[in-house]
Structure 1
Amino acid sequence: MARAAKTPAKSSGTGTRDIWLAAGKRTPFARVNGALAGYDALQLSVPVVKAMLAEGERPDLAVWGAVIPSLMWSNLAREVLLDAGADASIPAFTTVMACSTSMAGAFQAAGMLDDRGRSLALVGGAESMSRVQVGLGPELSDDLRRLLEARDLKARLAALGATRLSDIRLHIPRVVNRITGKSMGEHTEEMAKGWSISRTEQDELALASHRGAARGWSSGFFDDLVIRLPEATKDTTVRPDTSLEKLAKLAPSFDRTSGQGTLTAGNSSPLTDGAAGLWVATDKGLDRLPAHLPRVRLVDYEINAIDLRTEYLLMAPAYGIPRLLARNGLTYDDIGLWEIHEAFTAQVATHIKALEDDGFVRDKAGVTARLGRFPRERMNPNGGSTALGHPFGATGARILSQAIKELAAMPAGTWGLVSICADGGQGTMALLRN
């Protein structure tokens, strides 16, 4: 069992004022082009915010985010609040940090709460992978703008004549890194090969994720976290009937030619539609929320980045977790609950392997303390992103709300740690305590 009574060294993570996180609501998560394909990010967000506003008092601040850009709005957070019928005097801003978006939003809100008019914040995010907006290339956009601005026929003809065939192309957002041009899956294939992560190890983690998620749904764990929509009443990505045999039959998804590919549709998070939120509060703000809402303290947090040109793209949390624990005087065994985002189970397995490598922790993370064995049995008890899905902007709020409810049911003093890797070689981690 994790040791719950240990008192950490003083940390500057959340300042001198206690900051609390309270569980919010989310939509069911649905596979791309599935049950929620008719919703855009704004439409997915509105019912979540409505459900949260119906439970709590007026927030003093809202932070919301989405990763995939839209030309239909510039400040998604403000539009969501207005469409949800919230008080129009609530300030709101939009944030983005790839898969860490709504976790980073929680940290931003925590830093803005001062009990001088701001003690309660509504935070979250959404992603509609089914309704990605296609854009024009910059050259064609310039040509069309000149055409629309032309005042007479001669000017219109001149604008049309300036358009080159090579300018006529569309920009379709892709899940690739701009610097490398590689997809997240391609990067993770490189990570899996470099760290010798086997296909079997990945499939075993995927199976545990689906079993945990299925157990969470059947036990009623998700009932008060997930709102019902007409098109879906529960997550559509969970596979209760999967098995190692079924997972082993799936073909590689990213490395299809070398014969060495290990990442498949079964051990990778699916492209997903969904929205999720949570509450961030001071002691005063917490008094404005219903007593039944699970809540835990945000003790400290870490935001870090690695050089993606010399390190594997999704490795940032393997650097950040040891630093977060070391400055709070904790070891892996002190953490009673681990929630690690499963972009790919190969990435999770690599992080665990790195965390247990004393040389990596010392030489890469710069932590000399011996942190011990990673307790795999305490990780993602109600499933992770492999099973539940991964709407980029919503995942941070989903994983935090889930961890809050799990940790709040554990003995007082129990620690929890939540970790998310993000595109661009970045990561966010939250240290929580019941």
Structure 2
Amino acid sequence: MQHFPQPVFVAAGLRTPFGRGGGALANYDAISLSVPVVKAMAARAEPDLVVWGSVIPNLGWSNIAREIWLDAGLNPNVPAFSVVLACSTSMTAAFAAAGMLGGGIDLAMVGGGEVMSRPPIALTAEASKRLTDLFGSDPSAALAALQALTPQDYVLPTKGWANRITGRTMGDHMEETAKAWQISRQAQDDWALLSHQRAVAGWNSGFFDDLVIKLPELERDSNPRADTSAEKLAALKPAFDRTSGQGSLTAGNSSPITDGAAGCWIANEAGLARLPDGTPHLRLVDYEVAAVDHHTEGLLMAPSYAIPRLLARNGLRYADIDLWEIHEAFAAQVLANVAAIERPDWVRTKTGVQAEFGTFPWERVNPNGGSVAIGHPFGATGARDLSQAVKELWSHPVGSRAIVSVCADGGQGTVTLLERV
């Protein structure tokens, strides 16, 4: 099936090394960390459009894509706009750009950046209004009120990036989902260990060398641990459910606080011809954006709805997919989503898809590691996943296919089908 009116391609781009929260990249912000990526990609080809995103709000800018492009000192005649869809932000940027190809746009640069080490601190709506009203009528009183602010007047990241509606973090929600799907601590730790081992092996083999630019502060991802082990992972205490005695999500089997920026290319045939010869690329065949009621289905379970629908629409089974690049917000999230789509009765009831998909090929998932090991800068993960999948499938025969899946806060998720051409 061809979802688009013309062939659309996703080509591997570049990213920064992903830095551990509070570490080597903590002095950047989302703009300054994205600038080196955008400049390095633009040195290969000037795009007709830039679509970029960042998830953690910042009052210092409104259109981060344009700010990055101009701060990079690049052609001001290239338009740029921003997108936000939680952890799926830069994959959504790819879909947005794909739908805009034509009419003078043949090549788009898409991506995102996040410096989770530096979340801005904001005032509550009540405190903001109080100060704004005073500054308009009595500036001296406003200055006095500003000095008199208390901790209750600030929106502090005491709960990390908690869901606004529920007031709970993604980890809090995922603990519930892990219990509901009976995902064991052992299974989570086993997957986390595999993710670290594969990411370390990918770096040692040179797989990441042409996907990652070097920064003065950091030359390679700082999160993958060559020295981790089953014993070390098992020794970690629960990070979210610390009181029931049943908590299974830990710092070791969850994606870490991470700083990073990543980009990739979206192109039609004319745009693809402008990239350097030999740039790995795949055809973007189709995609699915899904949303579920996160009060009943689990905050990060939307991919389990999107994957069956995408496959059924294209007449495919699990065995027809040669590579699965699945974002690892938590090891439990990967395991729970796949547990769902492995149950034909659940697929039929929840997604309305009647097709049978066969046995899920676990051995084809994340061959060079995933977010548990590499890290998860919210705005950058989608582009990182896309570029990584493109390079991974590039070594496969023509006709091979990949699924890239990213879950997102708010009960949403994005999934795409790619083909080697």
Instruction: Compute the TM-score of the two structures, normalised by the length of structure 2.
Output: 0.96
Match of 2:36 among 34, 47, 65: 47
Instruction: Compute the TM-score of the two structures, normalised by the length of structure 1.
Output: 0.94
Indicate if the aligned counterparts of 2:135 and 2:142 stay in contact, CA closer than 8 A: no
Aligned residue for 2:61? 73
Kindly indicate whether residue 245 of structure 2 is the aligned counterpart of residue 259 of structure 1. Answer: yes
Local SS of the residue matching 1:62: strand
Aligned residue for 1:396? 382
Q: Kindly provide the amino acid, as one letter, of the partner of residue 185 in structure 2.
A: R
Aligned residue for 2:16? 27
Deviation at 1:149, TM superposition (A): 2.3
CA distance in 2, matches of 1:25, 1:372: 35
CA distance in 1, matches of 2:142, 2:169: 40
Indicate if the aligned counterparts of 2:131 and 2:146 stay in contact, CA closer than 8 A: no
Aligned residue for 1:377? 363
Change over 3 Å in CA distance of 1:158–1:197 after alignment to 2: closer
After superposition, the CA RMSD in angstroms is 1.7
Local SS of the residue matching 1:364: helix
Match of 2:120 among 125, 133, 137: 133
Q: Kindly provide the amino acid, as one letter, of the partner of residue 238 in structure 1.
A: P
Kindly indicate whether residue 95 of structure 2 is the aligned counterpart of residue 111 of structure 1. Answer: no
Indicate if the aligned counterparts of 1:304 and 1:320 stay in contact, CA closer than 8 A: yes
The 4+ residue runs of structure 1 with deviation greater than 3 A are: 156-168
Change over 3 Å in CA distance of 1:90–1:198 after alignment to 2: same
Q: Kindly provide the amino acid, as one letter, of the partner of residue 170 in structure 1.
A: Y
Deviation at 1:355, TM superposition (A): 1.1
Aligned residue for 2:187? 201
CA distance in 2, matches of 1:81, 1:395: 20
Change over 3 Å in CA distance of 1:140–1:406 after alignment to 2: same
CA distance in 1, matches of 2:116, 2:200: 23
CA distance in 2, matches of 1:323, 1:379: 19
Aligned residue for 2:274? 288
Change over 3 Å in CA distance of 1:341–1:47 after alignment to 2: same
Kindly indicate whether residue 128 of structure 2 is the aligned counterpart of residue 144 of structure 1. Answer: no
CA distance in 2, matches of 1:83, 1:160: 36
Q: Kindly provide the amino acid, as one letter, of the partner of residue 85 in structure 1.
A: G
Aligned residue for 1:184? 170
Change over 3 Å in CA distance of 1:208–1:165 after alignment to 2: closer
CA distance in 2, matches of 1:21, 1:73: 28
CA distance in 1, matches of 2:332, 2:13: 29
Kindly indicate whether residue 304 of structure 2 is the aligned counterpart of residue 318 of structure 1. Answer: yes
Change over 3 Å in CA distance of 1:161–1:217 after alignment to 2: closer
Q: How does 1:346-361 map to 2 (within 5 A)?
A: 346-361=332-347
Aligned residue for 1:7? none
Q: How does 1:198-347 map to 2 (within 5 A)?
A: 198-347=184-333
Indicate if the aligned counterparts of 1:143 and 1:162 stay in contact, CA closer than 8 A: no
Match of 1:120 among 89, 92, 107: 107
CA distance in 2, matches of 1:291, 1:76: 30
Local SS of the residue matching 1:300: strand
**Structure 1 segments unaligned to the other structure (5+ residues):** 1-9
CA distance in 1, matches of 2:169, 2:31: 26
Deviation at 1:182, TM superposition (A): 1.0
Deviation at 1:147, TM superposition (A): 2.8
CA distance in 1, matches of 2:143, 2:161: 34
CA distance in 1, matches of 2:166, 2:285: 35
CA distance in 2, matches of 1:388, 1:151: 51
CA distance in 2, matches of 1:277, 1:374: 30
Change over 3 Å in CA distance of 1:134–1:159 after alignment to 2: closer
Local SS of the residue matching 2:208: coil
Local SS of the residue matching 2:215: coil
